[in-house]
Amino acid sequence: MNYFIAFFSLLFVGITNGQTLKSPDNQLELIFELNQLGKPTYQLKYKNKSVIQPSNLGLVLKNNDNLVDGFEVINAKATSFSDKWKPVLGEEKEILDQHNQLIVELLQKATGRKMNLVFRLFNEGLAFRYEIPTQEKLNYFVIADEETQFSLTGDHKAFWIPGDYDSQEYSYNETKLSQIDVDKLDMNNGIGMKGPMAKSRIQSPVMMKSADGLYLNIFEAAVVNYPIMHLDVYTKSFQMQSHLVPNAIGDKAYLQAPANTPWRTIMVSDDARIILASKMVLNLNEPSKIEDTSWIKPMKYVGIWWEMHVGKATWDYAGSQNAQMAQEAELKPTGKHGATTENTKKYIDFAAKHGFDGVLVEGWNVGWEDWFGNWKENVFDFVTSYPDFNVEEVQKYAASKGVKMIMHHETSGSVSNYERRLDRAFSFMKKHNYDAVKSGYVGKIIPRGEWHDGQTMVNHFNYAVERAADYKIMVNSHESSRPTGYHRTYPNYIAAEAARGNEFNAWSVGNPPAHETILPFTRFLGGPMDYTPGIFEIKMSHYDATKKEQVHTTLAKQLALYVTIYSPLQMAADLPENYERHLDAFQFIKDVEVDWDKTEILEAEPGDYVSIARKAKGKESWFLGAITDENPRNTEIALDFLTPGKKYKATIYQDGKDAHWEKNPKAYSIKTIEVTAKSKLKLNLAAGGGTAISFFPM
C-alpha cells in the first residue's frame, strides 16, 4: 500500500474559534465555529453554495452533565490523507481513501472535560465524529443524547422510511421534507414485528434531492459500540437531529474514554452517480482485523426458502405443535415440511448441475412450531435437526457433489439464547462442514426491553461476526441493524438483509417497482445486501389461483438486479423447477459474477433508474444491469468501460416487446451480438423492467 500523507497546515488557535477545511478537489468546504455560548457548530458548502447551514454539535451525558456548550478551542490540526487499499471482496479491486482531515480539540473550561471533533472531507462528502480522549475528568460515561444537527437549506425531496427501532423493512416514501409524516403511512405492509416510531422520525441513510438538482445523503459509518442513529425531522425548518436508539432503561450508550461515536456522513453531489460510486463509508471503517482472509469466498447460492414464502412448503415440521425440544414432544409431521433430506438433495443436485457454490436450508432445526411473536427465550438450540433432516447424510451428499451447505440460524430475536449457544452452534457447523451462516432476528429482542437498533444489539451483531471469524465462518445477517461498512473490518460479514427484501413480494403489498432504484442510494451504502433476486415466476397466482401478490418487476429486471445490487453473496431465489422452464434466461444467473475488479455507475437517479456495469474479479468479462421504476425507459449506453480493442460477445437479456411488470412481466427476449468499447447499445426497459447483459471477450 502507498501512503501519501502530507500535513498541509497545523494551526494553534487563540482568539478565533473558527476553522475551515476543503475537500481534496476544493468543491466542498467545511466551516467549523464555536458560537458565543461555546457551542460547536459546523456548516457545509458545495461549489460555494450552502448545503448544510450552521448546525449544532454536542453530546448530552447522563446525570445532566453535558458536552454541548461552554467549550473553547485549545488546538486544531488539519492533515491530508491519500491511500489505496484492497478489499477482500468488493466492487473494486482497489479503493482510494483520499480526504482532508481537521481535528478540533475542545476544552469545556467549567468542567475540565475535553472533546475532539474530527472532520473528514472527501470529494463526495463530509464525515465527522466526536472523540472523547483519555482524560482525568471523564472516564466512564453514559450518552443520554447526541445533539447533532443537520440544517438543510430547503424543502428537499426525500426518500425515507420511518424511524422504527426494530425494522427497516419498509418501502421508501418519496416526499418533501415538509411532508414527512409517519402517522399517515399505511402500516398494512407485511412487517410482522414493528418497534417504536414517532411522527417525524425517519431512518438514515436518507437520500435527498434539492430543487436545484443537488443530491444529498445523510448516513453514518462504522457503528461500533454505539446505537444506530435515526433522525428527528423538523418539517418546518428542514432541520434534522440525531436520534439514538435507546436501551431497555432509556440510556443510549455506555462508553469509556478513549471513545468515539460513529462517523456522521453527509454526501453531496450534483451527479447522483457519485453517491453510488462513493466508498466513503468503507473508508471510514477500520481495516480488516482478520489476518488470513483466504477462507472468505464469494458465493452464489440456491436454497430451500422461496418455497416457504410462496406457501408450497413450511419451515416447521409439525404444524402448530409446540416442539421446542424434539425430545420432549412427539413430533407429528404435517407433510409440507420443506427442509427434508430428500428435498435438500434435489437442491444440491440442482446447484451442482448449474455451478452454484452453496445451498441454504431453512427450517432444518427444531423450534419452528412455536417460534414467532411470543417473546420466548428458548426457542431454537441450533444443533437439533428435525427427524426428516439428516445432517450427516446431507453433509456427505453435498461434499460428493462439491457443493457447500449454508447453515441457517433463526434466533427469533432471543439474543441471550443465541449468545449462550453460539459456540456450540458454530462448532456444530464446522463439524458438519458449513462455512457460512444466514442468521435471522425476527421478533422482539431478548434481553427484553432492548431494540434491534440499540447499542446492545449493535454490539451483538458485531460480536456474532467477530466470533464467527474465530471459526472461519461467514455471516449473512437478516433483521439485523443495517450495516455501516463494518464488513471492511470483518470481511466475513459477507452480507446482510436489513431492508425490505424480495420476499415481501410473495405475501404482502410487496415492493413497488421503484424500490430497487432507491436501495442503492440508501441501504446499499452501508454494505452488501442479500436481497434474494432471481424470481422468474413473478405472480403468486402460479401457486394458488386466488393469490394476487406478485413481484413488482419484469423477469428481465430480476436478472438485472444481480448487477445493480452489489453483494458477494447472491441467491438465485426461485424454485429449481421454475428455472428449468427458462434455462435460457437462467443462463445469465449462472454466468453473472458476485465479486468484482471494477464498477462503473453508468446512470442513476434515485427512485427512477440505475444502470451499472461491473468487471468480474480477475477476469475480462463484464456484466451490465439496468433497471427502471414503474415507468418504461429508453436509453443508450456507451460501452466505453470495455477494454479498448477487445471484442466481446454480448448476450442481452431484455424485456419482451409488450413486457410490463404487472400486465406481462415474464415476456423477455435474449439476443447475442458482438461489441467493442466503441459500441453503443440502445436499451428499452419496460415499465418495472430491466436489462441484463453479459460481455465475454471473444
Q: Which residues are catalytic?
A: 503
Give the whole-angstrom CA distance, residue 540 versus residue 504: 12
Q: How far is CA 50 from the centre of its chain?
A: 29
Query: For the chain, how long is the longest CA-to-CA vector?
Result: 79
Grid cell for residue 217: 445523503
Pick the closer one to its own copies by CB: 420 or 598. Answer: 420
Question: Which of the ranges 19-27, 163-171, 404-412, 413-421 carries the binding residues for its own copies, by CB under 8 A?
Answer: 413-421
Regarding 251 and contact with its own copies (CB under 8 A), the answer is yes
Regarding 247 and contact with its own copies (CB under 8 A), the answer is yes
Regarding 249 and contact with its own copies (CB under 8 A), the answer is yes
Pick the closer one to its own copies by CB: 49 or 448. Answer: 448
Question: Cβ neighbours of residue 549 under 8 Å, at least 6 residues apart?
Answer: 505, 506, 507, 508, 510, 539, 540
Regarding 412 and contact with its own copies (CB under 8 A), the answer is no
Regarding 463 and contact with its own copies (CB under 8 A), the answer is yes
Question: Which of the ranges 281-289, 412-420, 646-654, 659-667 carries the binding residues for its own copies, by CB under 8 A?
Answer: 412-420
Pick the closer one to its own copies by CB: 139 or 237. Answer: 139
Grid cell for residue 247: 436501551
Question: What minimum distance in Å lies between the beta carbon of 248 and its own copies?
Answer: 4
Residues 292 to 331 in contact with its own copies, rule: CB under 8 A: 322
Number of residues that bind its own copies (CB under 8 A): 27
Question: Which of the ranges 146-154, 247-255, 542-550, 666-674 carries the binding residues for its own copies, by CB under 8 A?
Answer: 247-255
Pick the closer one to its own copies by CB: 401 or 467. Answer: 467
Q: Exactly one of 33, 69, 97, 419 binds its own copies (CB under 8 A); which one?
A: 419
Q: Exactly one of 29, 166, 316, 450 binds its own copies (CB under 8 A); which one?
A: 450
Pick the closer one to its own copies by CB: 247 or 261. Answer: 247
Pick the closer one to its own copies by CB: 439 or 459. Answer: 459
Q: Exactly one of 3, 8, 12, 140 binds its own copies (CB under 8 A); which one?
A: 140
DSSP string, 253-304: EEEESSEEPPEEEEEEESSHHHHHH--HHHHTSPPPS-S--TT---EEEEEE
Grid cell for residue 679: 459500441
Regarding 698 and contact with its own copies (CB under 8 A), the answer is no
Regarding 332 and contact with its own copies (CB under 8 A), the answer is no
Regarding 8 and contact with its own copies (CB under 8 A), the answer is no
Question: What minimum distance in Å lies between the beta carbon of 446 and its own copies?
Answer: 9
Q: Exposed/middle/buried for 251, CB within 10 Å: 0-12, 13-18, 19+? A: middle
Give the whole-angstrom CA distance, residue 623 versus residue 591: 9
Note whether 53 and 151 are within 8 A (CB).
yes
Site string for its own copies, 593-632 (x = CB under 8 A): ----------------------------------------
Site string for its own copies, 371-400 (x = CB under 8 A): ---xxxx-----------------------
What count of other Cβ atoms lies within 10 Å of the Cβ of residue 114?
21
Regarding 283 and contact with its own copies (CB under 8 A), the answer is no
Note whether 120 and 174 are within 8 A (CB).
no
Grid cell for residue 630: 414503474
Q: Exactly one of 422, 540, 569, 616 binds its own copies (CB under 8 A); which one?
A: 422
Give the whole-angstrom CA distance, residue 165 versus residue 246: 9
Note whether 175 and 197 are within 8 A (CB).
no
Question: Which of the ranges 47-55, 146-154, 191-199, 246-254 carries the binding residues for its own copies, by CB under 8 A?
Answer: 246-254
Give the whole-angstrom CA distance, residue 505 versus residue 541: 12
Give the whole-angstrom CA distance, residue 568 versus residue 587: 19
Question: What minimum distance in Å lies between the beta carbon of 449 and its own copies?
Answer: 4
Regarding 431 and contact with its own copies (CB under 8 A), the answer is no
- Burial of 24-57, coded b for 16+ CB within 10 Å and e otherwise, reads eeebbbbbbbbeeebbbbbbbbbeeeebbbebbb
Residues 74 to 93 in contact with its own copies, rule: CB under 8 A: none
Give the whole-angstrom CA distance, residue 100 versus residue 131: 17
Grid cell for residue 423: 459456540
Q: What share of the chain is helix, strand, coil (3-state, %, to 5)?
A: 20, 35, 45
Q: Exactly one of 84, 420, 539, 660 binds its own copies (CB under 8 A); which one?
A: 420
Residues at the contact surface with its own copies, assessed by CB under 8 A = 139-140, 247-249, 251, 254, 256, 322, 374-377, 416, 419-420, 422-424, 447-450, 456, 459, 463, 467
